[in-house]
Amino acid sequence: MTPFARSNGGSVSRWFWTVDRLLLTMLMLLIAVGLVFVLVASGPQAQRLAHSRHATLSPLHFFNRQLVFAVVGTLVMIGVSFLSRITVRRLCAVALPIVLLATIATLFLGVDTKGATRWIPVFGIDLQPSEFLKPCLAVVTAWILAARYDDPNAPVYTVSFGLTTIVAIILIKQPDFGQTALVLTIWLAQAVIAGLPLATVGLAAGGGFAGLVIAYFTVPHVAHRINGFLSPSSTDTYQVTKALEAFRTGGLMGVGPAEGEVKWLIPDAHTDYIFAVAGEEFGLLACAALALLYLAIVLRSAKQQLDEDDPFVFLATVGLLVQFGVQAFINMGVNVALLPSKGMTLPFVSYGGSSMLAMALTMGMVLALSRRNRFMRGRIAGHKSGGINAVRVDRRSMDR
C-alpha cells in the first residue's frame, strides 16, 4: 500500500487527499517560473558584485542561491501545509513576538542598504524579519477579530488595530513605507469582512491618506518617490524609464532568453524589476500569463473559503491572500509605472531568501487552512439527513 493510498490512514495520505492539489501545483509552477527569471536576470548583478568586492563570482551566483532558497521554501510550504488550523494559529502566536523583536533589532543592528535598515545578519545571510512579520500578524489579527463572533462586545477592532499600529510604527522607523501600507491594508480588509462599520472604514481611509500627506512633507525619501511618480521630469526616474523601455523592446513575444539589455542597465533587475526583465526577454504575453497565474492562485484560494464556517480560518485566509495578491500587484504596478517605486519583491519570483521563505510560510498556511476532505464531503452531499453533523466531524478531522 502506497503512502498516498486513500485507504491508508497515515498523515501523508490524509494530507494528500485533503490538500488543494491544484493550488499546490500552481504555486510550484510559480516557483519554477521564478527560477527561470532569476537565471536570466541575475548574471549582470553577479558581475557588479564581483567587481565591487574585487573577487571572482560565477554568473550563476544568484541563481544557485535562489535554487537553494526555492528548494528550502518548497519544503517549508509543504511542511506547513500539513499543520492543522489550530497549530497554524499557535505557530503564529508564538512566532509573532519573536519576529517583532527581530524587526525592532534591525533599527539598532540592521544592515544599512540604500538608506534603510531592514536586514540583520543571521549565519552569514541578511535576513529581513518584516517579511515574516506580515503573515504572522495576519493570522493573529484574524484570531482576535474572530473573537467577536463569540462575544460581540469584545474590543476586537481596537486590540487588532493597536497591534497593527505598533507594527506599522516599527516599519516606518526602518523606513519601509511599502510594507507599512501593506500591513494596514491587510488589517482593513480583515476588519471590513469582520463587520467594521462603514463610517469607521471611511475614517480609517482618511487617516491613511492623512498619514501619506504627513509622510510626504516630513520624509524626503517619500516625497522623492511621489514626485518622481507624479512628475517624472522633476526627478531621477532612471529605473522606471528603463523598465518601460524594456517592455516596449520586448513587444508581444520578447527578444529571447538572455538577449535583453535592461538587466545590464539597472541594479535591481533580479529583485524589484524582474518583471521588466521578463517583459523584455519573454514578451507581453508571458507577463500577462504570469499576472493571470497570480490571479488564479488568489481566486482558487478564495473559492475554497466560500463554504467555510470558521470565522478565524476565513479571516486568516483573507489576510494571507491580500498580502500575496497586493504585493504582486504593487511590484508589477511599479514596473509599468502605475505606482510609485516601493522596493517590494514579486512573490516567489524575485531573488531573495527572506522573501521566498516568508512567502512559502504564507502560502503553506493558506494550503493548511484550505484543507478539506473532499471525498467525504461529496458523499455527505448525497445524504439529506445528518449532513451538518457529518460536516462538523470533517472539520474536526482537519484540526487534528
Locus of grid cell 522573501:
355
Distance CA 359, CA 291 (A): 17
Give 307's contacts (C-beta < 8 A, 6+ positions apart): none
Cell of 21: 492539489
**Closest by Cα among 231, 191, 183 to 208:** 183
Distance CA 373, CA 378 (A): 9
Locus of grid cell 511590484:
331
**pLDDT score for 197:** 84
**pLDDT score for 57:** 82
First-residue to last-residue Cα distance in the chain: 23
CA distances from 181 to 184, 245, 327 (A): 5, 28, 10
Cell of 243: 523598465
**pLDDT score for 145:** 96
Cell of 73: 521554501
Angle at 251 between CA 250 and CA 256, to 5 degrees: 40
**pLDDT score for 225:** 64
Distance CA 282, CA 17 (A): 36
**Closest by Cα among 89, 90, 70, 77 to 19:** 77
Contact indicator for 165, 211 with CB cutoff of 8 Å: no
Please report, in tens digits, the pLDDT of each residue of the chain (400 residues total). Answer: 566 666 566 788 889 889 999 999 999 999 999 999 999 999 889 888 888 877 778 889 999 999 999 999 999 999 999 999 999 999 999 999 999 999 999 888 877 776 677 888 877 778 899 999 999 999 999 999 999 999 989 999 999 999 999 999 999 888 888 899 899 999 999 999 999 887 777 777 777 777 777 776 776 666 666 666 666 655 667 888 899 999 999 999 999 998 999 999 988 899 999 999 999 999 999 999 999 999 999 999 999 888 888 999 999 999 999 999 999 999 999 999 888 877 789 999 999 999 999 999 999 999 999 987 554 444 434 444 443 343 343 444 455 4
Tell me, what DSSP letter sits at residue 399? T
Find the helix or strand (DSSP H, E) in which 118 lies: strand 116-122
Distance CA 266, CA 239 (A): 6
Reported as a single tens digit per residue, the pLDDT across 336-391 is: 988 887 778 999 999 999 999 999 999 999 999 998 755 444 443 444 444 334 33
Domain boundaries, the chain: 20-370
The pTM score is 0.87
Contact indicator for 96, 130 with CB cutoff of 8 Å: no
CA atoms within 13 A on the CB side of 19: 28
Reported as a single tens digit per residue, the pLDDT across 208-266 is: 777 777 776 776 666 666 666 666 655 667 888 899 999 999 999 999 998 999 999 98
